[in-house]
Every structure is written in C-alpha cells, then in structure tokens.
C-alpha cells in the first residue's frame, strides 16, 4: 500500500510539473505573439512617442508572462539602438525585479525572516550586512535566474536601495552584449561602450576575487562562519534536553515543534515555561538534514511513542502533558487518539495547528518537494490523514485546548480548532498573534500555565 501511495504521488507531482511548464510556455508564446507583430520592433507599436512607456510597461509585465529577462534588450535595441537600448533595459530590469521583490517581501516579513531569525540568527545578520555583494554577484552571473533571484532578495528582505543600484550595475554587461548583437548595425559608440564594459569587467572580477578571498570580513569568511553555525545547529538540535531527575510532584511537559522548524525554535518557549516551574522536555524529530521537521506525521507519532516509553521507564513516571505548535499538534493528537497515548496524558494544548489543512501546502506540492515530503500531503485540506484524525473520539480523561488566531496565515481562525466526531475541545482565541509568534510570546506562556493549572 505504501509503495502504491508513493507511485501515485510521483505521478501526481510529475503531472503537475509538466502542466505548469506547458501552461507557462503557452502563456509566454500567446502574449508575445499578440504584442509583437512581425518583428521585435513591432513589440513597441508604430507610434515612436509611446515606445519608452510601452517598453517599461512590458518590463514590468514580463515576470508574469514567464519570459526570460534576456528578451528585453533585444526589443530595446531594435527601437533605441545599442547604447540607449541597453541602458533602458537595465532600468526595465530594475522595475521588473522590484515588482517580484516587493511581492516576495510581503511573504518574507511574515514567514521567512521570523523563521530565519529564530533558527539562524547569525545567518540573518550576515544577509543584512552582505546583501549588496550577493545581489551584484548573482546579477553578474549569467546563469542565475533573474526572477528567482529577485524572489529570494524579497524573501530575505534585502535593502531596496541595494537591489536597485546593484541590479542596474549587474545587468548592464548582459544588456549591452545582447543589444549589441540584436541591433542591425552596431555603431562606433556602441562598440566603444562594449569595449569599456569588457575592460571594466576585467578589472571588476579581480577586485571581487580579492574581496572574497583576502579580507577578514569578506563574503567567503562570512559564509564559512555560516557553515560552522549550520554544523553547530545540527549538533545542538539532535540532542535531547537531558534531565537527571523529574519532580514527583509535577507532570512533565512535552513540547513539539512544527513543519520545517528545528528544536531550537522552542528555546524561548522552554525558558518561559521552565521559569514558571514546569519540567520541560523536547525531542529532535528528524527530517531535512536530520533537524528540520519534514517527516511523515504518523511515523513521527510512533517515534514520540518510543521516546516517551523509554523516558517513562528511565524516570519512573507515566504521565505527561503536551504543548504542540502547528504540525507538532497533529503529531501529538495522532499519538493520543490513534496510538493509545491518551492513557499517559491528561492535557494537550495546540497552537496554530492546521486541523483543516493549510492551502499553503498546495504551493509546495507544485514543486518536486511533493515527491519527498509526505507530510505536505497529510496537511493539505481534506486529506485522508485529517479525515481520519477528525473521525476520532476524545476520551473523557483527556482535555484538549486549541490556541488559534485570525492573524495566523497557516491555520486561520477556526481552522486552528480540532473538531472530532465526539469529545470536548476548548478553543482559546489569541487573535493578536501570527503563526510563529506563538513560540516567543509571554502571553502564550501565561495562557499555557493557566490551562495546565485548570482542574489540575
């Protein structure tokens, strides 16, 4: 059955990828066929006064019709000549890059940057300090996908002025080269500019090489520091919080983190709850690089069962309460309701758990990630996993609390409330919080403490 499911997922993802490629080619071909009449010069129309605004408009639209940025300098050269065509193309490239950049920045500020700051603080500092070097290098490198790079710059919240300045500088060599060969007759000025650009690059490349290799604050040095941080992160997150003893008067508290997070993201939550007197424990749940949680939810619940059984025997207790964030709440409830874990647990608190699935999974399933990460399929809306989970009965001995928020982009509003076939669930609205803010907000610590004391 498992092999069949993997084959089915493989066929589905490949079919989706092929359909997306065909759709992109069809959209691009249809658009430019209608815009360009007979020749590249026809793309800007017959009225020469409108050539400039039309070209800039095409530059802004270009990313949305799945067209390489290298087409625009050829169009510009036909109407404006080599030199002005290349310069205008650089301006158009900046505009099209900014469109993608600002769209991605909205997502980056809400999701990517909070995740990056929580899991890799040094990497975040590096990105802020070295963004102009990264932009220039990627713009100069001809095989770096222009729009994908703009997307990454936005997700990482690079500074706008650096994106503008170094996109303009970095795209100029490619613009002049394409415009030079696209123009019908390259004039003396164009050839002179091209020669100057080649000489500039001949000087710039050694300068960049010196910058990368020689200085203590160089990009290579910073990247080495990031690599060391990654290794430290991998080692740190594979270690269980070691406790020599648990208080017999307290029920220990297990914390479970969510999709594509590491155990390190629980650091603030652990401090908050430990300061309130709880015996807190968490496990490494494996996944990408052995750290970032991308494992099958059902297999993860079985892993939790094995780890807890060893913990119970080692420390001679048989009760534990659970706090699960996002996907961690799904893992916990599967263990409690499907694997018999409810006999060991009196209370579970979920935070931002996508009980109705998350539409964001569809974005990932349109990529090859759907081939390797089964949990994405389990967390999609109306999945068989979620149907099975909701078709459960909560034992009378188990209290379920669901912290949810209207500002949660993963499990919005009531999507963060568990609705089983039978049993009581207490919904706790915390509408001032975003998805990742459940992990570092002291109000959450107060609410968790209050719920754990309730009817204790």
Q: What is the CATH number of the domain that holds 395?
A: 3.40.50.1820
Alpha carbon distance 246, 47 (integer Å): 81
Structural domain count, the chain: 2
Report residue 335 as tokens. Answer: 């263990």
Domain assignment present for 380: yes
297 and 333 inside one domain: yes
Closest CA to 361 of 373, 343, 349: 373
Domain assignment present for 69: yes
SS (H, E, C) 160-206: HHHHHHHHHHHHHHHHHHHHHHHCCCCCHHHHHHHHHHHHHHHHHHH
Alpha carbon distance 427, 174 (integer Å): 57
User: Which of 228, 254, 271 is a domain's end point?
Assistant: 228
User: Which of 228, 261, 279 is a domain's end point?
Assistant: 228
212 and 286 inside one domain: no
Under DSSP, the state recorded for 112 is I
184 and 43 inside one domain: yes
| Interior angle at CA 221, CA 220 and CA 222, nearest 5 | 90
What is residue 125's predicted lDDT score, i.e. its pLDDT?
74
Domain assignment present for 446: yes
Radius of gyration of the chain (CA): 27
Alpha carbon distance 350, 67 (integer Å): 44
Domain assignment present for 2: no
Please identify which residue in the block is written with the tokens 């002179």. Answer: 192
Domain assignment present for 241: no
Q: For the purposes of burial, counting CB atoms within 10 Å of the CB of 252, is it exposed (0-12), middle (13-18) or buried (19 or more)?
A: buried
376 lies in which domain range?
Answer: 246-453
181 and 306 inside one domain: no
Long-range contacts of 209-218 (CB under 8 A, 24+ apart): 211/133
Alpha carbon distance 163, 148 (integer Å): 14
pLDDT of the chain along its 456 residues, tens only?
Answer: 344 355 666 677 778 778 888 888 888 888 888 888 777 777 887 788 888 999 999 999 999 988 888 888 888 888 888 888 889 999 999 999 999 999 999 878 777 777 777 666 666 777 777 788 889 888 887 778 899 999 999 988 899 999 999 999 989 888 888 887 776 555 545 555 555 566 565 556 565 555 555 555 555 565 666 666 655 655 554 444 455 566 777 888 999 999 988 887 888 888 888 888 888 888 888 887 777 888 999 999 999 999 999 888 888 888 899 999 999 999 999 999 999 999 999 999 999 999 999 988 888 887 777 777 889 989 999 899 999 999 999 998 999 999 999 999 899 999 999 999 888 899 999 999 989 889 888 889 889 998 988 644
Q: Helix, strand, or coil here: 321?
A: strand
């Amino acid at each position: 059955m498992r092999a069949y499911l993997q084959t089915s997922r493989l066929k589905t993802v490949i079919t989706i990828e092929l359909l997306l490629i065909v759709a992109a080619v069809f959209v691009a071909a249809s658009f430019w066929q209608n815009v360009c009449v007979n020749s590249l010069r026809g793309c800007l129309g017959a009225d020469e006064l409108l050539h400039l605004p039309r070209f800039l408009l095409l530059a802004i639209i270009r990313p949305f019709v799945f067209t390489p940025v290298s087409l625009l300098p050829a169009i510009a050269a036909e109407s404006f000549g080599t030199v002005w065509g290349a310069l205008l193309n650089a301006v158009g490239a900046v505009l099209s890059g900014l469109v993608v950049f600002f769209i991605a920045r909205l997502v980056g500020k809400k999701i990517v940057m909070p995740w990056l700051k929580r899991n890799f603080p040094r990497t975040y500092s590096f990105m802020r300090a070295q963004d102009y070097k990264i932009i220039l290098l990627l713009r100069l490198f001809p095989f770096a996908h222009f729009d994908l790079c703009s997307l990454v710059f936005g997700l990482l919240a690079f500074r706008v002025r650096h994106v503008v300045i170094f996109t303009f500088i970095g795209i100029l060599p490619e613009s002049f080269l394409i415009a030079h060969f696209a123009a019908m007759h390259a004039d003396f000025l164009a050839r002179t500019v091209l020669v100057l650009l080649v000489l500039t690059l001949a000087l710039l490349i050694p300068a960049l090489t010196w910058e990368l290799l020689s200085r203590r604050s160089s990009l290579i040095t910073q990247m080495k520091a990031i690599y060391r941080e990654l290794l430290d992160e991998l080692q740190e997150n594979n270690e269980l919080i070691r406790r020599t003893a648990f208080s017999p008067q307290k029920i220990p508290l297990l914390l479970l983190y969510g999709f594509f997070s590491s155990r390190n993201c629980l650091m603030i939550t652990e401090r908050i709850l430990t300061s309130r007197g709880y015996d807190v424990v968490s496990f490494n749940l494996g996944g990408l690089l052995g750290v970032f949680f991308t494992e099958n939810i059902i297999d993860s619940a079985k892993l939790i069962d094995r780890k807890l059984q060893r913990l119970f025997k080692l420390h001679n207790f048989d009760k534990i309460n659970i706090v699960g964030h996002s996907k961690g709440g799904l893992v916990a409830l599967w263990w409690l309701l499907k694997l018999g874990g409810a006999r060991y647990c009196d209370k579970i608190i979920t935070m931002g758990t996508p009980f109705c699935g998350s539409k964001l999974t569809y974005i990932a399933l349109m990529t090859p990630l759907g081939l390797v990460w089964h949990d994405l399929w389990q967390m999609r809306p109306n999945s068989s996993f979620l149907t099975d989970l909701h078709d459960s009965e909560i034992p009378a001995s188990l209290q379920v609390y669901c912290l949810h928020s209207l500002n949660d982009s993963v499990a919005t509003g009531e999507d963060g409330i568990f609705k089983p076939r039978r049993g009581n669930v207490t919904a706790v609205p915390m509408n001032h919080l975003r998805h990742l803010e459940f992990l570092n907000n002291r109000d959450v610590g107060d609410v968790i403490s209050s719920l754990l004391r309730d009817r204790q």
